[in-house]
Amino acid sequence: MAFSESTKNEAFGNSGGRCECRRTTHNHPHIRCPVTVTRYGAEYHHITSQDAGGSDGLSNCEVLCVKCHQATRSYGG
């Protein structure tokens, strides 16, 4: 499954239009990635993968920029 449009809209609103990545392995200059994203340029990542039992709900949705999403271990999987 995938996130619904309403979940994406709410997640994007909660993100303030910024990538929510806080992964220390991504070497951000601050704690959080400084990249701003548009609603349709953002990528929506399952914090807990569906294979591991993660849901398509808002609490499991993370707004990421393309670069951060591609750097996640589960990207494309």
pLDDT digits (tens, 9 = 90+) for 27-73: 888 889 999 999 999 999 999 988 899 999 999 999 999 999 999 98
Confidence of residue 77 (pLDDT cuts 50, 70, 90): low
77 inside domain:
no
75 inside domain:
no
* Pair 62, 22: CB distance under 8 Å: no
Single pTM value for the model: 0.89
Residue 5: Cβ-neighbour burial (10 angstroms; 0-12, 13-18, 19+)? exposed
Residue 6: Cβ-neighbour burial (10 angstroms; 0-12, 13-18, 19+)? exposed
Domain encompassing residue 14: 5-70
| Beta bridge partner(s), residue 44 | 63
Count how many domains the chain has: 1
> Where are the strands (E) in 13-52, listed by range?
43-46
The DSSP call for residue 48 is: S
